[in-house]
Amino acid sequence: MMVDNIQHIAHEIEAAPLTNAAELEQFRIAYIGRKGRIANLFDNLKQVAPEQRREVGQQLNTLKNRAQERFDQAQEQLSSTADTAGDTGFDFTLPPIPNTLGTRHPLSLVRQEIVRIFERIGFNVAEGPEMEDDWHNFSALNFPENHPAREMQDTFFLSENKDKLLRTHTSTVQVRLMENNQPPLRSIMPGRVYRNEAISARAHMVFHQVEGLYVNKGVSFKDLKETLYYFAREMFGQDTQIRFRPSFFPFTEPSAEIDITCFICKGEGCNICKGTGWVEIGGSGMVDPAVLQSSGIDPEVYSGFAFGMGIERITMLKYQIKDLRLFTENDVRFLRQFEGVI
């Protein structure tokens, strides 16, 4: 029985096709590997009668050597064939494959443009941590204890005592800037913020803001208006008009919403501006004296203004994007539309 098995496997070894790497690997596993068929025959050698064991063992060694020899020859042949194909198989007349470069994200494009606009009038860029405490996110900004923004449905709290949270606005950087520096202060604060909101075409749990702060002696609402007039015209065009609507924010007084004339219909009314001729871009106001005082700045000597805008909002208006979710879905069909934008 053992001799018959040896002869049968020897025939299989000679007949095995070894024309590619996959067949070569199957051959190695079947006949040369530690768990292959030849190894099993060696394990069963002890079952052969003692007087025949020497002769059968020699036949097994011959079979093993032949399998290894066939494997080595086929491996060398395949390697030689691959080298030859590599030398002569490439068509040098084919056109070159162009380098494919990515493009900057539309939010990055708009953020950089906003930074450049404000840098031209003396604003620098300030940044702060995205994980904050209650003081910098709420208390120092004049939010009362029972303010709705402190509730779980609006804020991502990171601890049960609600003193660690993901910042809900970049106003936290304004507080840190005032705590660690004395006026004059003139900075913008772009960055990512978080709010516990349902994701839809007009809302997201993660988005980007840019806020601005100017604190000095004699700063007035007129300075705020002229700064935002300049920004709106640089960002949206020189014929852009701006208006301020009275509003309320805990950290500014007086406060105002910022609207600009719709740059699609030029104030005539369209679906973008809902027929009003105006679109809202953010909020603003004079820094509340209580906020200055809590940050260590004397409100009797200094005054200041602050403003804030959503970068997604500005980008959607500028490029007429109707779905906020496109910014985070990484759809290359959407992103490639901005390849020519500088």
Binding-site residue set: 253
Spatial separation of the C-alpha atoms in residues 314 and 209, rounded to whole Å: 10
Spatial separation of the C-alpha atoms in residues 127 and 135, rounded to whole Å: 17
CB atoms within 10 A of CB 6: 17
Q: Which class for 180: exposed (0-12), middle (13-18), buried (19 or more C-beta within 10 A)? A: exposed
Give the DSSP H/E element, type plus range, for residue 183.
none
Strands (E), the chain: 124-125, 131-133, 164-166, 185-194, 206-216, 242-249, 252-261, 278-287, 303-310
Provide the annotated binding site for Mg(2+). 253
Spatial separation of the C-alpha atoms in residues 276 and 257, rounded to whole Å: 15
CB atoms within 10 A of CB 16: 17
Q: Which two tokens stand for residue 284?
A: 């603003």
Angle at 77 between CA 76 and CA 81, to 5 degrees: 115
